[in-house]
Amino acid sequence: MCSRLARLFLCVILSFLVAFSFVACGFIGKTIYPLNHEELIRNYCDKYDIPYELLAAVIYTESGFDEKAVSRVGAVGLMQLMPSTAEEIAGRLGVEYNEDMLTDPETNIAYGSFYLRYLYRNLGENWDTACAAYNAGIGKVMGWLDNEEYSDDGVTLKSIPIDETRNYVQRVNKYKEKYKELYFNSEVSSHE
């Protein structure tokens, strides 16, 4: 009787520890991979037909969700937009441009998601290629796509010659899986 009770107690304790570890992993994961501005991310993903987890991963890779981030080359905000690129996007959107607006989360996500979708549409509808262009620039990526050393089909990059860009695309894909697992796993994305 005593050993049966001890086994039951041990099973209850183990079940509790397993359940706690799942909860703790989610909590720790969400601490490491935050999802600030979720409503804005969802709105602009829906507007521009971008997978939620992809946009979250790009923001995390670019700025770690730091609204005030400024890179050494002058890229600004959550999605690290260059002021010249943001000005061009504002023109395409038909809105007045003000560089001070780039630290505003809504403006930055609106411009960045518009630009990411623009790259996707203009580079063969491949998200990895669009992300490479988001990092390296559309001109460089178009050159790689035209080069058989880097692309077999003119749409997909089989290799990326710049380490920073190759690592960037790998990080975005890694974080995309984390964001899907932590925040968007139960949702069926129509934005694939």
Closest CA to 28 of 178, 147, 188: 178
Catalytic-labelled residue, pool 38, 39, 53, 62: 62
The two tokens of residue 38 are: 């979720």
Among this protein's residues, is 192 annotated catalytic? no
AA letter at 69? A
CA gap 157, 148 in Å, rounded = 10
Find the helix or strand (DSSP H, E) in which 157 lies. Answer: none
Instruction: Tell me, rounded to whole angstroms, the distance of Cα 16 from its chain centroid.
Output: 34
**Which residue stretches of 96-162 are H helix?**
105-122, 127-136, 138-145
The catalytic site residues sit at 62
